[in-house]
Amino acid sequence: MVRLMPGLSLVTLLLATVPVLLPAAFQADAADIDHGRYLFDAAGCLGCHTDKENKGAPLAGGRRFETPFGVYYSPNITPDRMTGIGNWSMADFLRALRYGENPDGENYFPVFPYTSYTKMSDGDILDLKAYIFSLAPVRQPNLEHEAGRVFGSRFMVGPWKVINFRAGPMKPVPDRGKKWNRGAYLVEALGHCGECHTPRDRLGGTLEHQHMAGTAKGPGGEAIPNITPDQETGIGKWPDADLKALFSIGMLPDGDFVSGGMAENVSNTTGKWSKADAEAVIEYLKSLPPVINKIKKDKKKKTGTDEWN
């Protein structure tokens, strides 16, 4: 007998096979391309979908991601009709971000952080697509993943999603202010910060009791710091000014600068936040439950992806 997670029914599972129906508000002419550009940066699309190390074209895919389960390559998300997503409808785009499925209904591997993007609003998904489809198409075939029979099976992602994935946009928390809710949206949905800053179990599911507490084994083997407000092992002692300096130019409280994945993130994402959004993120992060989890810093090294602009 299959035992389902609390709150999960067979109806929920069967919905995955039903074609995605778009809200009436999803009209192409209603899209805001300028806002889509801001969302594109906030979501970190450029870094993951560009093989900068090998001088790949922006968004043409091919970036290598080494994980405990195998090697995965990011896909081409330019509007090329042959090798990219140029033939995707709005429903296809929504299905990818909201449900983690391709246009044929097959599961995406959770290297693609749809577990966070699912929390985006319908309007933001519309605007993001509009911006990406305004860019130049690049013809570049996608690379095959190197993940073996089990972890390279899209079918096997289904059981993983039953345990680790809940689809649907974020809802504002009524007893929190607009600023806090905006920060939560940037961190948990667009910025998908927990995908890197939260430790994972042996099957790649996030350990929610250690949400944002960092991990010694992050993407690419990097040590990822604790960003909960714990006083000793997190950011609890950081004044707002230090966090603003981190987000804007990547400078740490000791005057050093971040490298590796966070340097890329500053260049592509946090450094492009508006002042109001940076302040909203700070308010949200400082409201999180503090978690004691000391992460030993990696020796600083230049990765070749530190500078993007």
DSSP codes, 208-250: GGGTT--BSS-GGG--B---S--TTTSSTT--HHHHHHHHHH-
Q: What percent of the chain has pLDDT over 70?
A: 86
> Where does a domain end: 114, 130, 164?
164
Residue 77 clears pLDDT 90, i.e. is over it:
yes
How much is the pLDDT for 40? Answer: 98
How much is the pLDDT for 158? Answer: 96
Residue at 14 is within a domain: no
Residues 91 and 155 in one domain: yes
Residue at 3 is within a domain: no
How much is the pLDDT for 127? Answer: 96
Is the pTM here over 0.85, yes or no? yes
Residue at 80 is within a domain: yes
- Mean pLDDT over residues 196-213, rounded? 95
Residues 141 and 60 in one domain: yes
- Mean pLDDT over residues 26-39, rounded? 80
- Mean pLDDT over residues 174-201, rounded? 97
User: Token pair for residue 12?
Assistant: 């929920």
Residues 130 and 209 in one domain: no
Residues 159 and 99 in one domain: yes
Residues 145 and 188 in one domain: no
Residue at 234 is within a domain: yes
Closest by CA to 116, choosing from 41, 48, 189, 39, is 189
Residues 154 and 57 in one domain: yes
How much is the pLDDT for 26? Answer: 54
- Mean pLDDT over residues 202-224, rounded? 92
Q: Of 138 and 18, which is predicted with more confidence?
A: 138
Residue 258 clears pLDDT 80, i.e. is over it:
yes
Q: What are the contacts of 46-51 at 24+ separation with CB within 8 A?
A: 46/268, 46/308, 47/264, 47/265, 47/268, 47/269, 47/305, 47/308, 48/74, 49/74, 49/75, 49/76, 49/77, 50/74
The pLDDT tens digits of the residues spanning 80-92 come to 999 999 999 999 9
- Mean pLDDT over residues 192-198, rounded? 96
How much is the pLDDT for 269? Answer: 97
Residues 144 and 186 in one domain: no
- Mean pLDDT over residues 174-202, rounded? 97
Measure Cα distances from 12 to 94, 115, 161, 163, 165 in Å.
18, 16, 12, 13, 12
Residues 125 and 197 in one domain: no
DSSP 244-306: HHHHHH-B-TTS-B--HHHHHHHHHTGGGS-HHHHHHHHHHHHHSPP-----PPPPP---S-S
How much is the pLDDT for 221? Answer: 84
> Where does a domain end: 164, 197, 224?
164
Average pLDDT, the chain: 89
Residues 59 and 183 in one domain: no
**Could you give the number of structural domains in the chain?**
2
Q: Which domain holds residue 72?
A: 27-164
Residues 150 and 193 in one domain: no
Residue 76 clears pLDDT 70, i.e. is over it:
yes
If you average pLDDT over each of 101-105, 201-205, 304-308, which comes out highest? 101-105
The confidence band for 12, taking pLDDT boundaries of 50, 70 and 90, is very low
How much is the pLDDT for 7? Answer: 40
How much is the pLDDT for 36? Answer: 96
Residue with tokens 């407000």: 229
Residue at 100 is within a domain: yes
> Where does a domain end: 164, 198, 214?
164
Residues 282 and 216 in one domain: yes
Residues 32 and 138 in one domain: yes
Residue at 301 is within a domain: no
Q: Of 11 and 209, which is predicted with more confidence?
A: 209
Residue 304 clears pLDDT 80, i.e. is over it:
no
